[in-house]
Amino acid sequence: MASDVYPPEPRGGARYARSIVEQLNQRGHEVVVFTTAFPGLAKCTEESGMPVYRVHGLISRLPLLYQKKEGRFPPPLKDWLLYRELRKVLEEHRPDVVHAQGWIVHSLIPALRRSNVPLVVSVGDYRAICPAAGMVPDASHCGMSLSLRCVACNRSLYGAGLLGAAKSIATYAAIKRNISGFDRVDKFIAISEFVKKVHIEHLGMEGSRFAVIPPFYGYEKDGEVQSADLLPDDFILFVGALVPGKGVDVLVEAYRRINTEARLVMIGIEYPHYNYRDRDDRIILIINPSRNVVLDAYKKCRFVVFPSVAPEPAGMVVLEAMANRKAVVASRVGGLTDIVADRETGILVPPQERDALIQAIERLLSNPQDAARMGQSGYERWTRLFTPGAVIPQIEKVYHDLLNEKGFTSSESQAA
């Protein structure tokens, strides 16, 4: 399993990669993990009996290119140090299947060039075709092929000045050049029908090369950390990055027009290119809290609002809300429509339409029985479709089908 990031890096992609790894390990597979270096951790550690290789790439050693010490994504091109270390790990462990996610695949593909080992690539965002990964920071799906517009669009992500411009240009050029390298991928796993559609459109590939397998969420038990000092008694909840693409501006505008004693709690991650702040006394901002605070917030809130205006690939926040029996107000955009059953497990509203968002929030505030009914329906939908037990066998089937197609004999315990 090769991933751009891996815990303790807190990003959602890191947590999800570990979730897949742990589930495969529990089901009897021998798993080896390859990811990027993290400050303070050794190059090779053992976690739950699995070796985890954390390796510095050539680009990640250049401090001027990154704004943080941790979470240094590999570039969307072949990184010679990552390539060299990947070859060593592949030769040592000789996996039956290689499963990758993120830009690290561009260093992995050359390392597998002379190998017939099946390569599976998870597509959980738009990183393969969009330098911003989220289909443009201005929060709308551009609907265009990769073009020079991407350079201007990404300036807000890569910083001001000549260095920011150079990073944006280099990222765009690398992604455009390396699209042809995806011919080595045997199967893509898209986490929603929308993600599949967008990648087929932009990569010009056959639909048969994609399997649509939804994300999963395994219910977490909270620890001993208490959040009594952070959370009010009565509130609705937003969880996500505090950036325009997640709809925070639309949400705040809508909330200010609602007459309610319920507070709005916004739990988020700060990003260097956009820091959201609000002075409304009814809005509580909780920045970069522990995971236990987030879990406690899900349990105590009335319902969850996720008004993204960007085309969410799927929406892990929605799955977490459903697992906690909470109704969801979400945007009718991207992969969210695969997860939220409108009027059954929540309410879908058009993105960026403040009035529709107000109506949906007011409905659940004034009809708590509807919120409870939708929350229970969401929980039942989660248990059927989005738990590890429902999803992991679909991933295993992709592995076995590829091994059979290539004429390999799979053992009882495979490396992934």
Tell me: the pLDDT tens digits for 156-195? Answer: 666 667 766 777 787 777 777 877 788 899 999 999 999 9
Q: CA 339, CA 70: separation in Å to the nearest integer? A: 31
Give the dihedral sign, CA 257/260/261/266. negative
Do 109 and 245 reside in the same domain of the chain?
no
Query: Do 140 and 11 reside in the same domain of the chain?
Result: yes
Is the same domain home to 139 and 209?
yes
Sheet strand arrangement including 346-349: 283-287, 263-269, 235-241, 304-306, 328-331, 346-349
Angle in degrees, CA 127, 178, 71, rounded to 5: 40
Distance CA 319, CA 185 (A): 29
Rounded to 10°, the helix 248-256/354-366 angle is 60
Looking at the structure of the chain, the number of domains it has is: 2
Query: For residues 3 and 17, is the Cβ–Cβ distance under 8 A?
Result: yes
Which pLDDT belongs to residue 411? 47
Rounded Cα gap, residues 166 and 160, in angstroms: 10
Domain assignment present for residue 44? The answer is yes
Q: Tell whether 205 and 315 lie within a shared domain.
A: no
What is the DSSP secondary structure assignment for residue 415, as one 8-state letter?
B
- Closest Cα partner for 374 from 332, 314, 307, 321? 321
pLDDT reported for residue 137: 45
295 lies in a domain? yes
Rounded to whole angstroms, how far apart are CA atoms 124 and 99? 13
Q: For the segment 348-364, what is each residue's pLDDT rounded down to a tens digit?
A: 999 999 999 999 999 99
Give a three-class secondary structure readout of 13-64: HHHHHHHHHHHHHHCCCECCEEEECCCCCCCEEEECCEEEEEECCCHHHCHH
The angle formed by the CA atoms of residues 328, 330 and 336, to the nearest 5 degrees, is 105
Q: Could you tell me the CA-to-CA distances from 162 to 68, 133, 146, 272 in Å, in that order?
A: 19, 22, 22, 18
Cα gap 72→146, rounded to integer Å: 24
Q: Would you state the structure tokens that stand for residue 305, as one six-digit string?
A: 């609002």
Mark whether 72 and 160 lie in a shared domain: yes
In a domain, 395, yes or no: yes
In a domain, 413, yes or no: no
Query: Dihedral sign, CA of 174, 246, 153, 202?
Result: positive
What is the structure's pLDDT at 154? 67
C-alpha span between 118 and 112 (Å, rounded): 9
Assigned domain for 222 exists: no
- Alpha-carbon distance of 117 to 97, in angstroms, equals 6
Give the pLDDT of residue 413: 37
Q: By the 8 A CB rule, do 347 and 329 touch? A: yes
The domain that contains 206 carries what CATH number? 3.40.50.2000
In a domain, 410, yes or no: no
If asked whether residues 188 and 307 sit together in one domain, one would say: no
Q: Are residues 365 and 400 in the same domain?
A: no
pLDDT at 409: 60
**330 membership: H or E segment, kind and range:** strand 328-331
Report how far residue 53's alpha carbon sits from residue 46's, in angstroms, rounded to the nearest whole number: 9
3-state secondary structure of 119: strand
Claim to verify: residue 107 and residue 251 sit in the same structural domain: no
Q: Say if residue 122 is in the same domain as residue 247.
A: no
For residue 200, what are the domain limits?
Answer: 2-216+388-405
E strands present in 110-232: 119-123, 187-190, 210-212
Domain co-membership, 164 together with 16:
yes
Biggest CA pair distance of the chain: 64
Q: Are residues 158 and 81 in the same domain?
A: yes
The one-letter code for the residue type at 126 is Y
**Residue holding tokens 């909840």?**
237
Task: Give which of 41, 35, 29, 42 is closest to 14, Cα–Cα.
Answer: 35
Six token digits for residue 339 = 């997860």
Structural domain contains residue 415: no
Give a yes or no: residue 411 inside a domain.
Answer: no
Contacts of 182 (CB under 8 A, 6+ apart): 109, 121, 128, 203, 205
Q: What one-letter code names the amino acid at 134?
A: G
Structure letter (DSSP) for residue 206: -
Q: Residues 208, 249: one domain?
A: no
Which segments in the chain show pLDDT lower than 50? Answer: 136-141, 410-416
